[in-house]
Structure 1
Amino acid sequence: MAATPRKNKTGRRFLAAGAGLATVGALFAAMPSAGAAGDEYAVGQGTNGKGWGRMVDVQLLSFNDLHGNLEPPAGTSGQVIRNKADGTTEKIDAGGVEYLATHLRQAREGNRYSITAAAGDLIGASPLLSALFHDEPTVEAMNELDLDVTAVGNHEFDEGARELARMQNGGCHPVDGCYGADQGFEPFGGAEFPYLAANVTDEKTGRPILDPYYVWEKDGVKIGFIGVTLEGTPNVVTAAGVKGLKFGDEVETINKYTKILERKGVKSIVALVHEGGMPASTSVNYNCDGDGDGDGEGVSGAIVDIAKNVSPQVDALVTGHTHQAYVCSIPDPTGKPRLVTSASSFGKVYTDTTLTYDRATKDIVRTAVASANHVVTRDVPKDADMTKLIEAWRPLAAPISNRPQGYIAADINGRGSTAYEKPLGDVIADAQQEGLAPADKGGAQLALMNPGGIRTDLVYKASGAEGDGVVTYGETFNVQPFTNMMNVVDLTGANLITALKQQVSGSNLNSVKILQVSKGLTYTLDMTKTGADRVVDGTIKLNGEAIDPAKTYRVAMNEFLAGGGDGFAALATGTNKLVGASDLDVFNAYLSSHSSAANPLQVPAANRITVITK
Structure 2
Amino acid sequence: MNISRKTLLASIMLPLILSIGTVATAAARQYSEHHDTQEQDTGIREIASLPLHWLDSEHKGKSNPASWVHFKILGFNDFHGHLSTGRKVGGRPVGGAAVLAAYLEAAEAKSKNGAFIVHAGDQVGASPPVSALLQDEPSITFLDMLANDYCEKSDNEQSDDDHDHKRMSHHKKRNFRQQKCNVIGTLGNHEFDEGKQEMLRLINGGNYVTGPFLQKEYKGAVFPYVSANVIDNATGKPLLKPYVIRRIKGVKVAFIGAVLKETPTIVTPTGVAGLSFIDEADAINSYIPELHRQGVHAIVVLIHQGTRQRYYGGPTDAEVGTLHGSIADIVNRLDDDVDIVVSGHSHSFTNALIPNAHGKKILVVQAFSYGTAFDDIDVAIDPRSDDIVEKSARIVTTYGDIGPGLSPDKDVAKLVAKAEAMVAPMVSKVIGTTTAGISRSANAAGESPLGNLIADAQRRKMGTDFSFMNAGGIRADIPAGKVTWGDLFTVQPFGNDLVTMNLTGVQIIQLLNQQWVGQPYPRILKISGLSYTWDNARPENDRIVEVRKADGTLLDMAASYSVTVNSFMAAGGDNYTVLTTGTNRVIGSNDLDALIEYIKAMPQPFNAVIEGRIKRLN
TM-score by length of 2: 0.82
Q: Check whether the contact 1:480–1:583 (CA below 8 A) recurs between aligned residues.
A: yes
Q: Which moved more, 1:586-595 or 1:33-42?
A: 33-42
What's the secondary structure of 2:458's corresponding residue?
Answer: helix
Q: Please report how far the alpha carbon of residue 103 of structure 1 lies from its aligned counterpart in structure 2 after TM superposition.
A: 1.0
Quote the residue 1:3 is aligned against.
none
The correspondence of residues 442-457 of structure 1 with structure 2, limited to 5 A, is 444-457=464-477
Q: Please report how far the alpha carbon of residue 53 of structure 1 lies from its aligned counterpart in structure 2 after TM superposition.
A: 4.9
Using a 3 Å threshold, how does the CA distance of structure 1 residues 359 and 231 change in structure 2: closer, same or farther?
same
Q: Please report how far the alpha carbon of residue 44 of structure 1 lies from its aligned counterpart in structure 2 after TM superposition.
A: 4.4
Quote the residue 1:609 is aligned against.
614
Aligned-pair Cα RMSD in Å: 2.4
2:385 to 357, 361, 371: 361
In 2, Cα distance between equivalents of 1:160 and 1:170? 15
Quote the residue 1:64 is aligned against.
77
Q: Please report how far the alpha carbon of residue 530 of structure 1 lies from its aligned counterpart in structure 2 after TM superposition.
A: 4.2
- Summarize deviations over 1:279-306 as a string: whole Å, max 9, x none: 2x3x3549996xx5x4333x32111111
Quote the residue 2:54 is aligned against.
45
In 2, Cα distance between equivalents of 1:411 and 1:131? 23
Q: Check whether the contact 1:492–1:553 (CA below 8 A) recurs between aligned residues.
A: yes
Using a 3 Å threshold, how does the CA distance of structure 1 residues 435 and 113 change in structure 2: closer, same or farther?
same
Q: Which moved more, 1:154-163 or 1:197-206?
A: 197-206
What's the secondary structure of 1:353's corresponding residue?
Answer: strand
Quote the residue 1:325 is aligned against.
349
1:344 to 368, 387, 406: 368
Q: Which moved more, 1:578-587 or 1:256-265?
A: 256-265
Quote the residue 1:464 is aligned against.
none
Q: Which moved more, 1:419-428 or 1:33-42?
A: 33-42
Q: Check whether the contact 2:75–2:376 (CA below 8 A) recurs between aligned residues.
A: yes
Give the partner amino acid of 1:242.
V
Quote the residue 2:484 is aligned against.
472
Give the partner amino acid of 2:223.
F
In 1, Cα distance between equivalents of 2:321 and 2:221? 35
Q: Check whether the contact 2:74–2:118 (CA below 8 A) recurs between aligned residues.
A: yes
Q: Check whether the contact 2:444–2:616 (CA below 8 A) recurs between aligned residues.
A: no
Quote the residue 1:243 is aligned against.
273
Q: Check whether the contact 1:198–1:253 (CA below 8 A) recurs between aligned residues.
A: yes
The correspondence of residues 8-23 of structure 1 with structure 2, limited to 5 A, is none
Using a 3 Å threshold, how does the CA distance of structure 1 residues 404 and 253 change in structure 2: closer, same or farther?
same
In the alignment, structure 1 residue 580 sits paired with structure 2 residue 588: yes
Q: Check whether the contact 1:46–1:370 (CA below 8 A) recurs between aligned residues.
A: no
Q: Which moved more, 1:326-335 or 1:240-249?
A: 326-335
Using a 3 Å threshold, how does the CA distance of structure 1 residues 565 and 407 change in structure 2: closer, same or farther?
same
What's the secondary structure of 1:178's corresponding residue?
Answer: coil
- Summarize deviations over 1:181-229 as a string: whole Å, max 9, x none: xxxx431100111111211111121111111111122331211011010
Quote the residue 2:291 is aligned against.
261
The correspondence of residues 398-413 of structure 1 with structure 2, limited to 5 A, is 398-413=424-439
- Summarize deviations over 1:457-501 as a string: whole Å, max 9, x none: 0011xxxxxxxx111111100000000011001111111110100
Q: Please report how far the alpha carbon of residue 373 of structure 1 lies from its aligned counterpart in structure 2 after TM superposition.
A: 0.6
In 2, Cα distance between equivalents of 1:372 and 1:412? 33
The correspondence of residues 59-208 of structure 1 with structure 2, limited to 5 A, is 59-73=72-86, 78-80=87-89, 90=90, 92-111=92-111, 112-146=113-147, 148-173=183-208, 175-180=209-214, 185-208=215-238
Q: Check whether the contact 2:129–2:427 (CA below 8 A) recurs between aligned residues.
A: yes
- Summarize deviations over 1:155-184 as a string: whole Å, max 9, x none: 0001111111111111111x213224xxxx
Using a 3 Å threshold, how does the CA distance of structure 1 residues 130 and 302 change in structure 2: closer, same or farther?
same
Q: Check whether the contact 1:272–1:318 (CA below 8 A) recurs between aligned residues.
A: yes
Structure 1 runs, 4 residues or longer, greater than 6 Å off: 286-289, 416-419
Q: Please report how far the alpha carbon of residue 399 of structure 1 lies from its aligned counterpart in structure 2 after TM superposition.
A: 1.1
In 2, Cα distance between equivalents of 1:79 and 1:316? 29
Q: Please report how far the alpha carbon of residue 68 of structure 1 lies from its aligned counterpart in structure 2 after TM superposition.
A: 0.4
Q: Please report how far the alpha carbon of residue 611 of structure 1 lies from its aligned counterpart in structure 2 after TM superposition.
A: 2.1
Q: Check whether the contact 1:415–1:456 (CA below 8 A) recurs between aligned residues.
A: no
Quote the residue 2:166 is aligned against.
none
Quote the residue 1:378 is aligned against.
400
What's the secondary structure of 1:190's corresponding residue?
Answer: coil
Give the partner amino acid of 2:448.
K
1:234 to 240, 245, 264: 264
Quote the residue 1:590 is aligned against.
598
- Summarize deviations over 1:18-55 as a string: whole Å, max 9, x none: xxxxxxxxxxxx968234675569974379xxx99520
Q: Check whether the contact 1:153–1:274 (CA below 8 A) recurs between aligned residues.
A: yes
Give the partner amino acid of 1:225.
F
Q: Check whether the contact 1:411–1:603 (CA below 8 A) recurs between aligned residues.
A: no
Q: Please report how far the alpha carbon of residue 410 of structure 1 lies from its aligned counterpart in structure 2 after TM superposition.
A: 1.2
Kindly tell me the number of residue pairs found equivalent between the two proteins: 534
Give the partner amino acid of 1:436.
M
What's the secondary structure of 2:237's corresponding residue?
Answer: coil
In 1, Cα distance between equivalents of 2:523 and 2:586? 25
2:516 to 504, 507, 527: 504
In the alignment, structure 1 residue 394 sits paired with structure 2 residue 392: no
In 2, Cα distance between equivalents of 1:163 and 1:423? 34
What's the secondary structure of 1:382's corresponding residue?
Answer: coil
Q: Which moved more, 1:125-134 or 1:195-204?
A: 195-204
Quote the residue 1:219 is aligned against.
249
In 2, Cα distance between equivalents of 1:158 and 1:539? 34
2:605 to 588, 600, 605: 600
Using a 3 Å threshold, how does the CA distance of structure 1 residues 231 and 252 change in structure 2: closer, same or farther?
same
- Summarize deviations over 1:428-465 as a string: whole Å, max 9, x none: 0000000111xxxxxx11110000000010011xxxxx
Q: Please report how far the alpha carbon of residue 427 of structure 1 lies from its aligned counterpart in structure 2 after TM superposition.
A: 0.4
